[in-house]
Copies of this chain bind each other. A is one copy, B any other.
């Protein structure tokens, strides 16, 4: 698990090229970091289709297909929303694989929130009904660090699924 982000992204790219498949991203608290890390790799257009940063509630609704009521019911920061974002990304960009992420980057404000800074849900949707999610809790209040950790958690989850026999 101590591999560099570059190695992680290289592995993802190689696996996707070997399968002839693409990945797409719908991220919220990571704020573009997931797509940014993936596109740091030269030649990624052979396996990266595109991404969305869904910050507003309306953009989450458009990407997930969930109504604003359903989003409120599950909570924007929830496993259900992360999975719906992963599925929405895969659908929107016509990619076999979708990554979804939703969380609280922080720093914590005075406002009482039920969700602490450093909490995120990352999810992967893949072919043949693959649906996986992971809860991340960095315990950190640093926005910069949380964005990076959320992104790495999402990339690790994808790499793990890609490493299984197709």
Contacts and interface: CB of A to CB of B under 8 A. Distances in A.
B31 A36 contact: yes
A144 to B, nearest CB: 6
B50 A59 contact: yes
A107 to B, nearest CB: 6
Contacts of A48: 55
Copies per complex of this chain: 2
Contacts of A131: none
A34 interface: yes
A55 B59 contact: no
Q: Which of A31, A51, A94 has the most CB of B within 10 A?
A: A31
Given A36-B32, A40-B143, A147-B40, A52 B55 contact: no
Q: Which of A44, A52, A53, A58 has the most CB of B within 10 A?
A: A53
Given A33-B32, A42-B107, A52 B49 contact: no
A39 interface: yes
Interface string A51-94: 11111101100100000000000000000000000000000111
A120 to B, nearest CB: 14
A38 B80 CA distance: 26
A35 B58 contact: no
13 contacts: A25-B53, A31-B44, A32-B34, A32-B35, A32-B36, A39-B53, A42-B106, A42-B143, A48-B55, A49-B55, A52-B53, A58-B93, A58-B94
